[in-house]
DNA sequence: CGGTCCTTTGATACAACTCAACGTATGTGG
DNA sequence: CCACATACGTTGAGTTGTATCAAAGGACCG
């Protein structure tokens, strides 16, 4: 019994070395994993399981007990909250390298759903807590992510509270472009995996107003819509001016 | 020379023991200080200086280098961002026990001004970093504060993006009431130290619409305005219903 | 090829903004 | 001490812009 266990374990180790998922992970430098050295990543990998999501599939419900945390490796997720009468606010889109569960304590405070087919690394909260105790750098990086998320949420407050529809859309497109770039992807034809409805619920608008805002930017020559889900930025400077960037 | 230094230092220690500001601090259990034991607080106090602000006085400018961090002990502050054309968004109000500089990295990302006469504990970033290294619980508590701030910012996103003016105001009043309560203050006649203009810039409205929303809540019998800066909540349940609380 | 879903465009309604006036409180100088 | 000025809040009238309602154009799939 003991022998067979030991053999099984060593086989697992071998398989890991062959597969070593993390070592071949393309977005490792972006995610929390970057906090760990080459030889330390194995510890993370040993508590990790993989999870795939189809578009529109739900990962987490607001109010559910927070048992697992995640790191997105590919695809796109959305964080959303639904009001009692069906109104929805999307509080953010997650891209590869982003971490899930930054804000939550005992329970999840938002719904999380896939916008595009997505792959995640999944960890039990307890395992991750242990690992963070062992590698303080991991916790440090998570804290860094949390501060960045807070800055982004505050930028969103400005956008939601004080920008006009076209300004909202312009700043949204620039945000997506900037994040694509920071994720080592081309920043110009910007892919929009989410629906107009998702964009509307992020910007605090209706789908019709979003659509009209796209049209305005297009007729002004600032963007080109290859199709509804791929935007080419033609005049970045003018788009930034519309977005009301350059504060004060 | 050495002797006189030593004597001066011991005198400072004695004075501290006599004054021991932190020991008598009323909001200590709320602020980051609560992370430390009785006997550890002296370390915090030794790197602390006090700072007072008159109403409308500016503490920090967006973009300035982040050299100091603060803990608010009394009064109220506002976090704000100004757009190039003068539009303003207030991203939060700070109450006693709240910490300043949760989101910032190299530079401050918001302006900070006093709404009411305020007193703060001020620390150099470097001193605080050292202290956090010495007392990990301090950093832990700061991280906790940051997660709470992120949850609040996301609640604000919902409010800004999807609530109607009266709903916004109702949820604002309930927020203030809840925070007053959590700060061991009476939660019913809610004091509003800030101006209508501040409220408008927090809720993403104009002052006129804020004023009309107050009137609506008043004529519906949900609140009573003793004066413009003191609100009595008459029907908390109905106010919560208007606020669109009870998500989903 | 017909059906569904998503996006865009058009017409209309209404709510929040803008502009304006009035009321109230506070403070200052004659 | 009162008259006046200033700042702030409330209320009213009119305008504008976004939401709503409606329909048509495309893309995708069975």
Name the residue ranges covered by the structural domains of chain B: 9-156, 163-243
Say whether the CB atom of A228 is under 7 angstroms from strand C: yes
How confident is the model at residue A50, as a pLDDT? 94
Nearest to A103 among B85, B110, B154 (CB): B154
What pLDDT shows up at residue A83? 96
Per-residue pLDDT at A109 exceeds 70: yes
- A53 pLDDT above the threshold of 70: yes
Average pLDDT score over residue span B217-246: 94
Return mean pLDDT, chain B.
92
At residue B24, the pLDDT reads 84
The yes-or-no verdict on residue A161 having pLDDT over 60 is yes
In the prediction, which pLDDT does B2 show?
56
DSSP A121: E
Percent residues over pLDDT 90 in chain B: 84
Q: Tell whether domain B9-156 is in CATH 3.90.700.10.
A: no
A186-202 confidence digits (pLDDT tens)? 999 999 999 999 999 99
Does residue B12 surpass a pLDDT of 80?
no
SS3 A220: coil
- End-to-end Cα separation, chain A, in angstroms: 71
Residues 6+ away with beta carbon under 8 Å from A41: A22, A23, A28, A33
More confident residue, A115 or B24: A115
Spell out the residues 6+ positions from residue B33 whose beta carbon is closer than 8 angstroms to its own.
B22, B25, B41, B44, B71
Confidence of residue B15 (pLDDT cuts 50, 70, 90): low
Nucleotides of C under 7 A from a protein CB: 6-11, 15-20
Selecting from 3.40.50.620, 3.30.1330.10, 2.60.120.10, 3.60.15.30, what CATH number does the domain A26-152 have?
2.60.120.10
In the predicted structure, residue B14 carries a pLDDT above the cut 60: no
| Distance of residue A213 Cα from the nearest chain B Cα, in angstroms | 17
- Domains B9-156 and B163-243 in one fold: no
Identify the pLDDT of residue A115: 97
**Which nucleotides on strand D sit less than 7 A from a protein beta carbon?**
8-13, 17-22, 27
The CATH architecture assigned to A163-243 reads Orthogonal Bundle (1.10)
The average pLDDT across A135-157 equals 97
**Contact yes or no for B214/B169 (Cβ under 8 A):** yes
Residue of B nearest to A103 (CA): B147
Chain A residue numbers with beta carbons less than 8 Å from the beta carbon of B78 are none
Dump pLDDT digits (tens) for A54-103.
Answer: 999 999 999 999 999 999 999 999 999 999 999 999 999 999 999 999 99
| Å: B76 CA to D2 C1' | 36
Buried b / exposed e over B186-218, threshold 16 CB at 10 Å, is: ebeebebbbbbebbbbbbbbeeebbbebbebbe
Nucleotide nearest to A208 (CA to C1'): C8
Whether B225 has a pLDDT exceeding 70, the answer reads yes
The pLDDT of residue B242 is 95
What gap in Å lies between CA A107 and CA A226, rounded to an integer?
41
How much is the average pLDDT of A40-62?
A: 94
| Average pLDDT of the residues in B239-247 | 82
A248 confidence band (pLDDT: 50, 70, 90): very low
Instruction: Please tell me the predicted confidence (pLDDT) of residue B248.
Output: 45
Q: Provide mean pLDDT across the span A26-33.
A: 92
Question: What are the pLDDT digits (tens) for B99-138?
Answer: 999 999 999 999 999 999 999 999 999 999 999 999 999 9
In this predicted structure, what is the pLDDT of residue A246? 59
Task: Rounding to the nearest 10 degrees, give the CA dihedral for residues A14, A16, A18, A19.
Answer: 160
Band (pLDDT 50/70/90 cuts) for residue B21 is: confident
Average pLDDT over residues A148-154: 98
């Amino acid at each position: 019994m003991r022998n067979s266990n030991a053999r099984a374990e060593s086989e697992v180790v071998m398989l890991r070395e062959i597969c070593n998922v993390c070592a071949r992970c393309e977005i490792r430098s972006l995610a929390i994993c970057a906090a760990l050295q080459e030889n330390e990543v194995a510890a993370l990998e040993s508590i990790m399981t993989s999870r795939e999501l189809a578009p529109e599939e739900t990962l987490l419900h607001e109010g559910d007990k927070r048992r697992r945390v995640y790191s997105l490796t590919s695809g796109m997720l959305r964080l959303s909250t639904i009001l009692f009468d069906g109104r929805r606010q999307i509080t953010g889109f997650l891209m590869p390298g982003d971490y899930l569960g930054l804000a939550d304590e005992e329970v999840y405070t938002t719904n999380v759903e896939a916008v595009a087919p997505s792959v995640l690394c999944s960890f039990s909260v307890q395992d991750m807590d242990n690992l963070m105790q062992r590698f303080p750098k991991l916790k440090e990086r998570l804290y860094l992510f949390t501060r960045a998320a807070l800055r982004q949420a505050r930028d969103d407050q400005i956008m939601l509270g004080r920008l006009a529809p076209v300004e909202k859309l312009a700043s949204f497109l620039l945000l997506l472009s900037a994040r694509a770039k920071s994720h080592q992807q081309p920043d110009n034809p910007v892919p929009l995996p989410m629906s107009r409805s998702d964009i509307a619920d992020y910007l605090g608008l209706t789908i019709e107003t979003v659509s009209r805002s796209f049209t305005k930017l297009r007729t002004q020559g600032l963007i080109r819509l290859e199709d509804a889900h791929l935007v080419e930025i033609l005049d970045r400077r003018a788009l930034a001016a519309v977005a009301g960037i350059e504060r004060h």
